[in-house]
Structure 1
Amino acid sequence: MAWLSGSKERIKIASAAVAASGLLAGCTSAAGGEVGALRADAPIAAGMAECPDIKPPGDSAARQVRGMWIATVSGIDWPSDTAHSAERKKADYRKLLDQARALGLNAVFVQVRPSADAFYDSPYEPWSQWISGEQGRDPGFDVLEFFVSEAHKRDLEFHAWFNPYRVALHNDRGKLHPDNPARKNPSWVREYDGKLWYDPGLPQVRELVTKVVLDVVGKYDIDAVHLDDYFYPYPSGGDFPDEDTYRRYGRGMSKGDWRRANVDALVKGLHEEIHRAKPQVRFGISPFGVWRNRRSDPAGSQTTALQSYDDVYADTRKWVKQGWVDYITPQLYWEIGNAAADYSTLVAWWAEQVEGTGVQLTIGQASYRVGERGFDAGELSRHLAVNARHRQVRGDVYFSAKDLVGDKGGATSRLRKDHYGAAAIPPPVAGGAAPSPAGSVRAEPDGKGVRVSWQLSPSKQATSYAVYRVEGRGKACAQVDPRRLLTTVRGSAIVDPTVKPGTTYTYYVTALDRLHHESAPARGATVTTEHG
């Protein structure tokens, strides 16, 4: 992320304080009263006609991406110590995901290529030092396969996060693994501000990055490829040393235009190649939050901050207008009223840019900033209130995981109370279709609450199921209310531990494909709890 710098990338975090009592068999609702004895009403008979007159719910403002970045560089979020055993590392990752579900999140953005290395067995690059303690050392398990499978078990989208150009947080090439392409091809690498970077102007570099990404797309069941804000390095040590490359490939362009064209070529090419390989895999970027200031360009925002277009040569607005990304997640890490870059101003500007493009807009939020001057525990909650005024905003992603699940300054508790009282399904994505409904929903007594089960949809594209709960005896066939979404799950049953004694509930179930197109609900099932 833009604020990171060398050894300062390690964040001091508060201890995790988010209770996961809502996590049971995939259910993530808020904790309720004590569960008494239960009495099941007559279950829906298997094979009974479902609800042909009830239409699928479709899209709504309640559909939101709720995600968090899990940073692996320098062990920011995971692993806490490369010397830990594989089982300890796995347990720590599972805990992060469980906490994400307890908070009502539905996506994780996990850094799998932090510094020209890999959190998987790559034919192109060595194992990352941030997983095993030494670049090139096999950690003993397929880390990325584990990442993806554990996320999907919890019905969390998995966005594989790559850094395209960073080689190392130091400038000692001798520390790179002998098989690292950056060591084997020293002419591809530039030293800048005490770090090593690939030169974005070299076709060989773009080819390597593309091969690396497509290798992951082909081998793993990821939901999206994700790039952050690091393109050309942020200007802190003079001009980037690419004069020789510019003379060779500049083709008469100004250096700034040429650098932007280099990054454009990578972005456009990745979008095309990813969709050619697997159409269902999306491609998104989380750029620095300011494209250009209005004083530099009439199309820019009313801000006075660093500009991604001019300073890191990322023409983020062009990528949106050209449809070279499926989603954009600008890092709007400023508070409301910031003199240089007001949060409200930037949300409105980005909402205007995506209008009519088909590019999904989510907002990058700075959970790490809670407690800083001007960024109190209620700031993030106020951000989401601003977002609600712009229908183009389809959710939020928080940096970083430990600050979010650790409830830094109480900000996460405030978010949960003000905005995340119900679960959420991400917005539907073009290219999919609603599966056939589930069937034979049952609600029955269970020692831990109410067990809700159903028959799986006959559609092969059905990936997960949404469970809705209303208080009282609802109609057997009824439209579902997104505000009553209890949880989503990949399976055919949940246990709802949040019921109150002496209360009647009706449960409805819909089927979802992996791009979040939702079926009509099956017939509901009703259960009444007895007084304990």
Structure 2
Amino acid sequence: MLSLDRRDFLRLSAGAVVTGAAFSASVTTSIAPAHAAGPQRARQFRALWISSVANIDWPSRTGLSAAVQRREFEDWMDLARSLRLNAVISQVRPSADAFWPSPHEPWSQYLTGTQGKDPGYDPLAAQVRAAHERNLEFHAWFNPYRVSTQSDPKKLVASHPARTHPDWVFAYGGKLYYNPGIPEVRRFVQDAMMDAVTRYDLDAVHFDDYFYPYPVEGQTVPDQATYARYGGGASLADWRRSCIDTLVEEMHERIRSAKPWVKFGISPFGIWRNRSADPAGSATSGLQSYEAISADSRRWVRQGWVDYICPQVYWQIGLAAADYAELARWWASTVEGTDVALYIGQAAYKLTSGDFTDRRELVRHQEVNARYARIAGDAYFSASDLRANPRGAISALVDEAYPSPAIVPAIAHLGGRAPQAPLAVTAARTRDGVRVRWQHPPGSATSYAIWRLDGTDTAPVRAEDPSRLVATLRARPGRAQEYVHRGGSGSGYAVTAYDRTWNASEPAAARTR
């Protein structure tokens, strides 16, 4: 993930982050685009990253009232829906701090401007509620080891664990980090994150690419004493990787033990290793996360320590050092034979910066993705760049690649059970379109999809024909369930129910009257 302390290995400019710009009204709602970017899918993960570090996306600045912060976040959720996305990845622990009342770490400074100051409400609870009301999955994004974007521990609140345990922390590259090689640190950061997992209705836990810090020329990570104590005879590089492997494996096990339906995903740097260094690597020549930040992302996939992997493939098609098409192929082959879902991290910010000179670069990425059945979706960094819609590029992406909504793909090993089909479905013509109504079935339904039919034949629904998918929405038990298809002209409609891991019920249909 692009942050304050890293540019990609090509040293390309990240460009200014744009905030507050209105999204172009040119996004259409037509069912069939003029030029579809590859075969359309009814099941596709579509997410945006919302960054809180340095107030990149949310909140837009520190010190806003609780009401304004809530409204800003709801605006981001509305943007996600308008772009036909179905998930948000929101940063809730950017720098060893918290966007919820944590017993382990202080309130984040990015809320009020003062670390440790109560914002007067529970931002994480409000975020989860806002996302779920719009039927968006909520992925809580945590940074395990970054403590501060500056290097002076005295600038942290006095009660900060980094000050009460100064031996846990090192300074490097002008920043502060928890030392990943100390077992007590690993347990502590897991405890801090698991507090949110156990207390909130999260759909997923998400890590980005920050493990050991990215290399800084002329500096050495100061963990020699830790290595001498815990290295156990392994090389320094292998030991560091083992420390991160242990964090990943243990975190996955703890999440599964506490809430087996909550996904665990990581968004690593886009290159694991180059083929010149390892025959199993990609045909690239860039920075290798295996060496640079001790991230053995291929092993996490092959061992099944993650439920999804979302590599940051932040480069254009045809780039010699890191060709998007080559990396998409490599990651698709890496997840082959596993039950790990593959989503691709997309650099919307490079449209803003101008590094992507082709307005349709992200559309072309979708055309590449369509070659591989194992690529199940995408996430876009960052939210502000989607809102800015530079050169109309995001409008083009939505028009061509996302002409209809999409349902989050199910991940088999997460389990769950298909709920009972919706009850008493009716479809009635109104002045505005067609009003579809149904009753909430007993059991585990958390959301619905509405499909347009020709007659009442539900075969297209069972096949999940994306051209028939009209909308998805959250279940509201105890309340009337309905959806108005504005301008709708279907001679019949069907509704399917989904549990929280996206297992589908049988469709229930009605002829339009």
Give TM-score, length-normalised by structure 1: 0.88
List per-residue Cα deviations over 1:367-394 (Å, max 9, x = no partner): 0100523442200000011000000000
Q: Which secondary structure does the structure 2 equivalent of 1:345 belong to? A: helix
List per-residue Cα deviations over 1:387-443 (Å, max 9, x = no partner): 000000000000001111331221110111111101100111221121110021122
Matches within 5 A, 1:497-512: 498-499=486-487, 503-512=489-498
Residue 461 of structure 1: which of 437, 444, 447 is its match?
444
Matches within 5 A, 1:11-90: 11-13=17-19, 15-19=21-25, 30=30, 61-90=41-70
List per-residue Cα deviations over 1:454-493 (Å, max 9, x = no partner): 11122x21111111124xx512654412321111111353
Distance 2:198 2:258 in 1: 7
Quote the residue 1:475 is aligned against: 456
Moved more, 400-409 or 509-518: 400-409
Moved more, 181-190 or 404-413: 404-413
Q: Contact 1:99 / 1:405 at 8 angstroms: preserved in 2?
A: yes
Distance 1:399 1:214 in 2: 25
Residue 135 of structure 2: which of 143, 146, 155 is its match?
155
Kindly tell me: are residues 448 and 80 of structure 1, through their superposed partners in 2, closer, same or farther at Cα, counting changes over 3 Å?
farther
Q: Which secondary structure does the structure 1 equivalent of 2:508 belong to? A: coil
Distance 2:31 2:503 in 1: 29
Quote the residue 1:100 is aligned against: 80
Q: Are 1:344 and 2:350 an aligned pair?
A: no
Residue 365 of structure 1: which of 338, 342, 346 is its match?
346
Distance 2:82 2:210 in 1: 31
List per-residue Cα deviations over 1:282-328 (Å, max 9, x = no partner): 10000000000011101000000000100000000000000000000
Q: Are 1:192 and 2:172 an aligned pair?
A: yes
Moved more, 11-20 or 509-518: 11-20
Q: Are 1:114 and 2:94 an aligned pair?
A: yes
1:447, distance to aligned residue in structure 2 (A)? 5.4
Q: Contact 1:188 / 1:198 at 8 angstroms: preserved in 2?
A: yes
- Matched residue pairs, number? 489
Moved more, 178-187 or 225-234: 178-187
Residue 397 of structure 1: which of 373, 379, 391 is its match?
379
Quote the residue 1:329 is aligned against: 310
Q: Which amino acid aligns with 1:417?
A: D
Quote the residue 2:390 is aligned against: 408
Distance 1:67 1:305 in 2: 26
Distance 2:21 2:233 in 1: 55
Distance 1:92 1:309 in 2: 38
Distance 1:113 1:333 in 2: 23
Quote the residue 1:145 is aligned against: 125
Q: Contact 1:287 / 1:331 at 8 angstroms: preserved in 2?
A: yes
Identity %: 51
Distance 1:2 1:304 in 2: 20
Quote the residue 1:211 is aligned against: 191
Q: Which amino acid aligns with 1:506?
A: G
Quote the residue 1:37 is aligned against: none
Q: Contact 2:312 / 2:346 at 8 angstroms: preserved in 1?
A: yes
Q: Which secondary structure does the structure 1 equivalent of 2:376 belong to? A: strand
Distance 2:438 2:395 in 1: 33
Distance 1:175 1:411 in 2: 41
Distance 2:60 2:295 in 1: 32
Residue 239 of structure 1: which of 198, 204, 220 is its match?
220
Q: Are 1:300 and 2:286 an aligned pair?
A: no
Quote the residue 2:506 is aligned against: 520
Q: Which amino acid aligns with 2:507?
A: P
Quote the residue 1:5 is aligned against: 5
Quote the residue 1:45 is aligned against: none
1:504, distance to aligned residue in structure 2 (A)? 4.7
Distance 1:482 1:316 in 2: 32
Q: Which has the higher contact order (CA 8 A, sep 6+)?
A: 1
Moved more, 403-412 or 335-344: 403-412
Kindly tell me: are residues 447 and 73 of structure 1, through their superposed partners in 2, closer, same or farther at Cα, counting changes over 3 Å?
farther
Q: Which secondary structure does the structure 2 equivalent of 1:260 belong to? A: helix
Residue 493 of structure 1: which of 470, 481, 492 is its match?
481
Quote the residue 1:44 is aligned against: none
Quote the residue 1:252 is aligned against: 233
Max Rg structure: 1
Q: Which amino acid aligns with 1:525?
A: R
Q: Which secondary structure does the structure 2 equivalent of 1:218 belong to? A: helix
Q: Are 1:266 and 2:254 an aligned pair?
A: no
Flag structure 2 segments of 5+ consecutive residues without an equivalent. 8-13, 33-39
> RMSD of aligned C-alpha atoms?
2.1
Q: Which secondary structure does the structure 2 equivalent of 1:523 belong to? A: strand
List per-residue Cα deviations over 1:232-281 (Å, max 9, x = no partner): 00001422111111111111111000000000010000000100011001
List per-residue Cα deviations over 1:33-57 (Å, max 9, x = no partner): xxxxxxxxxxxxxxxxxxxxxxxxx
Distance 2:490 2:122 in 1: 46
Distance 1:3 1:300 in 2: 26
Moved more, 366-375 or 74-83: 366-375
List per-residue Cα deviations over 1:86-144 (Å, max 9, x = no partner): 11111111011011001110000000000000000000000000111110000000110
Kindly tell me: are residues 20 and 280 of structure 1, through their superposed partners in 2, closer, same or farther at Cα, counting changes over 3 Å?
farther
Q: Contact 2:18 / 2:388 at 8 angstroms: preserved in 1?
A: no
Kindly tell me: are residues 14 and 114 of structure 1, through their superposed partners in 2, closer, same or farther at Cα, counting changes over 3 Å?
same
1:446, distance to aligned residue in structure 2 (A)? 4.6
Quote the residue 1:386 is aligned against: 368
Kindly tell me: are residues 336 and 31 of structure 1, through their superposed partners in 2, closer, same or farther at Cα, counting changes over 3 Å?
closer
Q: Contact 1:2 / 1:230 at 8 angstroms: preserved in 2?
A: no
1:30, distance to aligned residue in structure 2 (A)? 4.9
Flag structure 1 segments of 5+ consecutive residues without an equivalent. 23-28, 33-59, 528-532
Q: Which amino acid aligns with 1:283?
A: F
1:168, distance to aligned residue in structure 2 (A)? 0.3
Kindly tell me: are residues 397 and 300 of structure 1, through their superposed partners in 2, closer, same or farther at Cα, counting changes over 3 Å?
same
Give TM-score, length-normalised by structure 2: 0.91
Residue 426 of structure 2: which of 432, 442, 461 is its match?
442
Quote the residue 1:57 is aligned against: none
Quote the residue 1:227 is aligned against: 207
